[in-house]
Amino acid sequence: MKIKQSMLLRVRIAFLFVFIFGAAIIYRIFDLQMLQGSKWRKVAAATSLQYRTIKATRGNIYSDNGSLLATSLPFYRVCMDPTIAKEELYKQSIDSLALMLSRFFGDRSKEEYKRRINDARRSKRQYLIVNRLQIGYQDKKKMEKWPLFREGKYKGGVIFEKVEKRFKPFSTLANRTVGYINESESGAGLEYSFNEQLRGKHGEALFRRVAGGSWQPVFGETEKRPVEGLDIFTTLDVNLQDVAESSLLRHLQYHNADRGCVVVMEVKTGHIKAMANLSRNAAGYYAESYNLAVGQHGLREPGSTFKLASMIALFEDTNIKLTDTVDTGNGIQRFYKEVIRDHKPGGYGKITIEEAFAKSSNIAVAKLVDAHFGLKPQRFMDYIRQMGLTEPLGFQLKGEGLPKFPPQQKWSGITLPWMAYGYGFEITPLQTLSFYNAVANDGKMMRPMLVSSIRRADKLEQEFLPQVMQEKICSAQTLESVRKMLEGVVEHGTANNIRNSHYPIAGKTGTAQTLENGRYAKKYYTSFVGYFPADRPKYSAIVVIDNPKGYNQYGSDVAAPVFKEIADKVYARDLEMHPPYYPVPMVEPGFPVVQSGYMPELFEISKQFGLAYKTPIAEDWVKAQIDSAAIDWKPRSTEVGRIPDVRGMTLRDALFLLENKGVEVRFTGHGRVLRQSQEPGSRALKGSYITLTLG
């Protein structure tokens, strides 16, 4: 009986042991998975476990050629669990580790670092922030070879906590356009407007509270890995952006202006190639603090640049011609109780419509619009609406300013004449540019575009194709007339100071007084908007400079030179915009090849080969001509600041002359120079490219 009871007791004990052991195994397998459920999240919250967000790596922002405009770089916080290392390993390594930490961070002595780590180990703290200074990836790789740290996380206790920081490789270039995003996910620019795509999908993992109140991740099956953000590819050209910002800054400083912006657009596509916005801050420096070209605070009365819209409405609704005349009188015209003035003292008298536009006569445009639309103002507004000026552009950046036109029921007798030359309403610089771009684009209005595609690595996720907002803003006949007028502004009008012989520019100056507290102050909003080359438009651009100081306060003196400076640099680097150049053969067939080059060398070669030649001349650079079967030497001009004629020269001589002019040389073929892409005698623009064809 006692034996049976003993056997029964043993069976019960064995069964109990199996039950407890099995339950423990099951718990170890499923405990963390169960914590993922909502029921177990409550359990985790009530204990030392907690689910926390793991942020996804933010996507990159690229320029049109793949240059990085913004990216996320990994930094690391150096932490450790000093309790993990075995005693013997710990004692062997702690002195060397403390010394290396002291030398690297330079904020504590070796003894202080050793004491901190020893204290944490004795008190069984499983998480210690060694130093709050974040280190880069290369420093992390070095530290991974240090004593104790080289044993890794599970033997040496080192923990490199990853912290990502946003980095802009081009520093402040296009700073406001690229923008920013803060912890509350408010911000500006591309970072804010495309935050949904850039931020990716955050993950989460289970963390446990350790000594000192810090949290340490519990890696394993509880981890929900984050999905990296998508990459944004923009239409921005970093070289054009740099040119635009540099030129704008220089002229803002020269005129001591308050703020300004520049936008450069590709005519056929509406792609924004450069967008610069600079405002003077409290310290007196210029910085990109607000997008004046696009945002609500950039809304302003455009002034004379709006005269183009008024003239289009007139050409579309009447039979007026460029050669028709209008009497502007002595430069002062009363409309009801208000007075409109022209810039020229004494007025322009009777002038043609083409001249009135070129000279930017306020009176001429106001009189014409009032005479034709005074009794039908709604028809005038219908034309303005057809030109796409009354509605927002639907631009890809959030915060676009909405056009402000007065409701017609609040119009007075002066509203229409004032509106005719750009007062009484507000639009953004980007809207003005889009309108002028449509004129350059044969009447087709394109939606301005800043982002061309969204990708995940090499996989295209979304593509943004050029969008047509208005198929035709006016008739072909009207388009021909207004394009001629815009060219006239630069050829013989208010912007003749930016005329050049290399390529034609078309555009319009604008100068508007600033409205402050319901009254117009003696502060001016200057602008120039246009396109180039005028005969085959490729780019359009607008320049705005607000409140310039000093003697020159008009768009022609302040904004137009910025446009010209940018256009010159664009033209110099874009060989497709240059007209083809065909040289005339220089040497008669059959005569030895002595064409052009350095006089002492050519003379010596002719002498060595027994060629007939005339008396050398006292010039360094010459060209050879055949005269009665003998070489005659003619001087070859190398005028300062001008492109020399290098046709017929060896590549060595051509390189010497051109590179001394600050021009970068590209060449194809072998032999002497047959053709050069920049015409001889044209202005040598430093940094521009010239292509030589050898043969």
Per-residue exposure over 297-306, b if at least 16 CB sit within 10 Å of its own CB, e if not: ebbbbbbbbb
Amino acid at 225: R
Binning the chain into helix, strand and coil, the percentages to the nearest 5 are: 35, 25, 40
Averaged confidence pLDDT in the chain: 85
Closest CA to 513 of 500, 527, 499: 527
> Is the link from the previous residue into 533 a cis peptide, with omega within 30 of 0?
yes
Please name every residue paired with 635 in a beta bridge, in sequence order, or none if there are none: 622
- Quick one: pLDDT at residue 177? 94
Look at the domain 51-234 and name its fold: Penicillin-binding protein 2a (Domain 2) (3.90.1310)
Containing 113, the helix (H) or strand (E) segment is: helix 110-122
Beta strands in 81-209 (DSSP E): 128-135, 158-167, 180-181, 187-188, 203-209
Query: What would the CATH number be for the domain defined by 241-574?
Result: 3.40.710.10
Q: Is 481 left (phi over 0), alpha (psi -120 to 50) or beta?
A: alpha
* Length in residues, the chain: 695
Quote the CA–CA distance of 244 and 238 in Å, as a whole number: 10
* Helix, strand, or coil (residue 449): strand
Residues of the chain with pLDDT below 70 are 1-53, 206-223, 580-620, 622-638
> CA 609: distance to chain centroid?
58
The C-alpha angle with vertex 576 and arms to 358 and 476, in degrees rounded to 5, equals 45
Q: How far is CA 501 from CA 298, 646, 661, 682, in A?
A: 34, 21, 19, 8
Query: CA–CA separation, 1 vs 4, rounded Å?
Result: 5
**What is the per-residue pLDDT for 618?**
58
d(CA 310, CA 323): 17
pLDDT of 589 reads 44
Q: For residue 520, what are the β-bridge partners?
A: 515
Question: What pLDDT is recorded for position 42?
Answer: 47
Q: How far apart are the first and last CA of the chain?
A: 120
pLDDT of residue 695: 74
Angle, alpha carbons 498-502-505 (nearest 5°): 45
Tally of CA atoms within 13 A in the half-sphere of 313 that contains its CB? 32
CATH 3.20.20.70 for the 596-694 domain, yes or no = no
Read off the pLDDT of residues 153-174 as tens digits, 9 standing for 90 and up.
889 999 898 888 899 999 889 9
Distance CA 60, CA 68 (A): 7
CB 76 within 8 A of CB 134: yes
At 663-690, the pLDDT tens digits run: 888 888 877 888 888 888 777 777 777 8
Cα(218)–Cα(208) distance, rounded to whole angstroms? 7
**What is the residue extent of each domain of the chain?**
51-234, 241-574, 596-694
Block residue for tokens 């800043």: 450
Are the C-beta atoms of 541 and 264 separated by less than 8 Å? yes
pLDDT at 56: 83
